[in-house]
Amino acid sequence: MRKIHCLNAISKHGTDLLTADYELTDNVKEAEGILVRSASLHEMEFPNSLLAVARAGAGVNNIPLDACAQEGIVVFNTPGANANAVKELVIGALMLASRDILGGINWCIDNAEDANIAKSVEKAKKAFAGCEIRGKKLGVIGLGAIGAEVANACAGLGMEVYGYDPFISVQAAWMLSRDVKHTTSLDTIFQECDYITLHVPALDSTKGMINKNALEQMKDGVVVLNFARDLLVDEDAMAEALASGKVKHYMTDFPNTKSVHMKGAIVTPHIGASTAESEDNCAKMAVKEIMDYIENGNIRNSVNYPACDMGVKKTVARVAVLHLNIPNMIGQITGVLAGGGINISDMTNKSRDKYAYTLMDLESVPDDILVQKLNAIQGVLRVRVL
């Protein structure tokens, strides 16, 4: 029986897809697969049994990707599966930042016992007047699954949308509305936009991208929306910019000891992906990815190994070798199998940065000695016979 450990609550719509060969276990030490949302794996000691981690979500900064790759553990995420949920919350945040909806609601609560509320509201309401987003300039930083949806939706709401993403994928570029203006300059976004929304991953290259210098370039009264990760914003600089009125509102989905005390910050409790639909989508995609990898060795949507798909295993044996991307690996791997008199009927080799993957369909099953020889090749990180 194959064991899967859930580090967070994972939607039953996903775990129900696990076939009779699988069971959920509370004991991570015996797990072949881990399903996780935002729990951190940075301090975890990985058991030898662990083949794959699937993040039911987009951001993978809670997982040590390189350490996993070194141990032959493939990490997956679920691109796009929660994009609509985040887009809808960003639109809600644009409204909250532009109209004093929260102040107005609180006024109604505070005045609930006023018998004349129906009259007094007409005087009081001017305190909660706001502005419209139509015609305002929105800068979208990062045009992946979420950024592209936000950009398109806001263009549809009549905003003048500028998009910045030097690494945009062809697929994401196809998704973009022709109304979204492409800019290659982050400074243009900072200097021109009334609203700026972040949709990039937390990487060394993106951490602190909204810093003092960026904030100083922005228009007075700008609104910054952060539904990506708190690390993208220098929050000391943001607190100062809010206090001075440079930034009107900082809309963030990441409560921390700084953001929750900032005057003018409107903080939500990391609920960007918290809809039933998104949780189901992410869980279903994560479970399918992990099962396809465990059973067939196929890698789809990995963030630390290359994509590789040889379909459903049909031969008597399929061997999967995770290894370093260095010279002469294919020669050595196929040499070991040839030395054992085994014919390879089909094979694929793919690489991604430091790591590579060789998947082979064989006409006979390699014995333990051959598997040991494969494992002994310098640069081989894990061998599996499926």
CB of 233 to ligand 2HG, least distance (A): 15
Angle between helices 101-110 and 83-98 (to 10 degrees): 70
Cβ pair 100, 124 in contact under 8 A: no
Residues 68, 83, 175, 210: which binds ligand NAD (CB under 6 A)? 83
Establish if 351 lies at the interface with ligand 2HG (CB under 6 A).
no
Residues 101, 124, 157, 202: which binds ligand NAD (CB under 6 A)? 202
Establish if 58 lies at the interface with ligand 2HG (CB under 6 A).
yes
- Residue-wise over 216-229: b if at least 16 C-beta within 10 A, else e? eebbeebbbbbbbb
Size of the site for ligand NAD (CB under 6 A): 34
Amino acid at 291: M
Establish if 147 lies at the interface with ligand NAD (CB under 6 A).
yes
Binding partner selected for residue 211 from ligand 2HG, ligand NAD, none, CB under the kind-specific 5 to 8 Å limit: none
Binding partner selected for residue 167 from ligand NAD, ligand 2HG, none, CB under the kind-specific 5 to 8 Å limit: ligand NAD
CB of 62 to ligand 2HG, least distance (A): 9
Q: Which stretch binds ligand NAD (CB under 6 A): 79-87, 323-331, 344-352, 374-382?
A: 79-87
Establish if 199 lies at the interface with ligand NAD (CB under 6 A).
yes
Q: Which stretch binds ligand 2HG (CB under 6 A): 44-52, 55-63, 207-215, 331-339?
A: 55-63
Establish if 279 lies at the interface with ligand NAD (CB under 6 A).
no
Pairwise CA distance, residues 208 & 189, whole Å? 16
Establish if 306 lies at the interface with ligand 2HG (CB under 6 A).
no
The interface mask with ligand NAD, positions 220-249, x = CB under 6 A, is -------xxx--------------------
Q: DSSP of 345-366, one letter per residue?
A: EEEEEEEETTEEEEEEEESS--
Query: Could you say which DSSP state residue 196 is in?
Result: E
CB-count exposure of residue 357 (10 Å: 0-12, 13-18, 19+): buried
First to last CA, the chain: 14
201-206 long-range Cβ contacts below 8 angstroms, 24+ apart: 201/58, 201/59, 201/60, 201/61, 201/142, 201/228, 201/229, 202/59, 202/61, 202/228, 202/229, 202/231, 202/232, 206/232
Establish if 274 lies at the interface with ligand 2HG (CB under 6 A).
yes
195-198/137-141 β-pairing: parallel
Residues 2, 3, 5, 37: which binds ligand 2HG (CB under 6 A)? 37
**Spatial CA neighbour of 145 closest among 124, 166, 173, 126:** 173
Binding partner selected for residue 104 from ligand 2HG, ligand NAD, none, CB under the kind-specific 5 to 8 Å limit: none
22-24/33-36 β-pairing: unpaired
Which residue minimizes CB distance to ligand NAD? 144
Establish if 74 lies at the interface with ligand 2HG (CB under 6 A).
no
Residues 39-68 interacting with ligand NAD (rule: CB under 6 A): 57-59
Residues 168, 290, 299, 380: which binds ligand NAD (CB under 6 A)? 168
Q: In this complex, which beta carbon is closest to ligand NAD, that of residue 3 or of residue 249? A: 249
Q: In this complex, which beta carbon is closest to ligand NAD, that of residue 273 or of residue 320? A: 273
Phi and psi angles of residue 318, each rounded to the nearest 5 degrees, phi first: -125, 130
Which residue minimizes CB distance to ligand 2HG? 57
What tokens appear for 171 in the block?
């697929």
Phi and psi angles of residue 277, each rounded to the nearest 5 degrees, phi first: -65, -45
Establish if 38 lies at the interface with ligand 2HG (CB under 6 A).
yes
Contacts with ligand NAD by CB under 6 A lie at 57-59, 79, 82-83, 86, 141-147, 164-169, 172, 199-202, 205-206, 227-229, 253, 270, 272-273
Contacts with ligand 2HG by CB under 6 A lie at 37-38, 57-59, 82, 272-274
